[in-house]
Amino acid sequence: MTQQASWQVAVTDSGFPDLAPEAEALAGTGAVLLPGQCRTAGEVAELCADADAVLTQWAPVTAEAIDRMTRCRVIVRYGIGVDNVDLEAARAKGIPVANVPDYAIEEVADHAMSLLLASVRKIPQVAAQVREGVWEIAPRRPIVGLQGRKLGVAGFGNIARAVVRRAQAFGLQTIAYDPYANPELFAKHGTTRVDWETLLAESEFISVHLPLVESTRRLFDDRAFAAMKPGAHLVNTSRGGVVETEALVRALQDGKLAGAALDVLEEEPVPAGHPLLAIDSCILTSHCAWYSESSLIRLQRYAALEVRRVLEGGSPQHVVNGVDV
């Protein structure tokens, strides 16, 4: 192990109660945490200029900030998405960027399935009726059954596969679109691999599990919604930018979609008066699918362990920008 008197690990920002899990994961390395709550690239640059490693949650780790890093050996993003980090700038400087893709697989899958059930069964609407004194034993017609219907998943990574397992327990058939997934995975999980057009045309319910990159940005647009089955439901627990908000509003208002349930949006938090808030068939949650008390601790610990691996002369497990240590 290569150790110096004091490694500096900058934490650009976080929404955690404290950084005790990071401190525990880094114990014995000589690392010192430099906590911040940076909101601008300039603040990130100032905090991280002499840091040996950077942990970041939402702060803008831009090319400007990365250019001013003189000693950084790794940048680790708390979570899966890395769109707040300039991957190309880090690559150009030889700094690996890592994420934490495995801290909340079951939580997000639980949330996605919960949103699907709530949307299809119209649970929020029925619960609201009951509070208003309306008691109907066959409310909000029509409500469709799940058994034998088809769930399509866009993306077939760990979370999507966990959703598939849950959906199959409810009697749903499953199909998946993912041009990059190992073909053997589909059969292993009892799921038919389909192309994009087939996913849209055949799915009665679609659950989105895609990263936000240029090829997926606003992938669900007017054209995609027009190609979906009439009366379909859309669930998104991945990245808000994968769905074009205005197109979704139109699809819901026109009745093309029977429902949508979203934990992520293009603009967060959702502004007061946003059209989606007025659409009865749309369920919104607050980007909280990842959260449980257990996953919170795992996220902090796993991120810090990536830093520890690098400080001890090893490599991160989950590099996302192609830089080898």
Helices 105-121 and 158-169 pack at an angle, to 10 degrees, of 50
Q: Residue 5 has what pLDDT? A: 54
**Rounded to whole angstroms, how far apart are CA atoms 215 and 150?**
25
246 catalytic, yes or no? no
Q: Residue 4 has what pLDDT? A: 52
**Rounded to whole angstroms, how far apart are CA atoms 23 and 152?**
41
Buried b vs exposed e over 47-57: b needs ≥16 C-beta within 10 Å?
bbeebbbbbbb
Q: Which residue among the candidates 24, 136, 197, 268 is catalytic per the annotation?
A: 268
HEC assignment per residue over the chain = CCCCCCEEEEECCCCCCCCHHHHHHCCCCCEEEEECCCCCHHHHHHHHCCCCEEEECCCCECHHHHHCCCCCCCEEECCCCCCCECHHHHHHCCCCEECCCCCCHHHHHHHHHHHHHHHHHCHHHHHHHHHCCCCCCCCCCCCCCCCCCEEEEECCCHHHHHHHHHHHHCCCEEEEECCCCCHHHHHHCCCEECCHHHHHHHCCEEEECCCCCCCCCCCECHHHHHHCCCCEEEEECCCHHHECHHHHHHHHHCCCEEEEEECCCCCCCCCCCCHHHHCCCEEECCCCCCCCHHHHHHHHHHHHHHHHHHHCCCCCCCECCCCCC
Copy the structure tokens of residue 227: 């190609």
Q: How far is CA 149 from CA 71, 114, 171, in A?
A: 54, 17, 8
268 catalytic, yes or no? yes
Q: Residue 1 has what pLDDT? A: 43
Q: Which residue among the candidates 239, 244, 306, 308 is catalytic per the annotation?
A: 239
**Dihedral angle sign, alpha carbons of residues 168, 170, 175, 180:** negative
**Do 79 and 55 touch, CB atoms closer than 8 A?**
no
Q: Which residue among the candidates 287, 298, 301, 309 is catalytic per the annotation?
A: 287
Q: What is the pLDDT along the chain (325 residues), one digit of tens a residue?
A: 444 558 999 999 999 999 999 999 999 999 999 999 999 999 999 999 999 999 999 999 999 999 999 999 999 999 998 989 999 999 999 999 999 999 999 999 999 999 999 999 999 999 999 999 999 999 999 999 999 999 999 999 999 999 999 999 999 999 999 999 999 999 999 999 999 999 999 999 999 999 988 999 999 999 999 999 999 999 999 999 999 999 999 999 999 999 999 999 999 999 999 999 999 999 999 999 999 999 999 999 999 999 999 999 999 999 999 998 8
239 catalytic, yes or no? yes
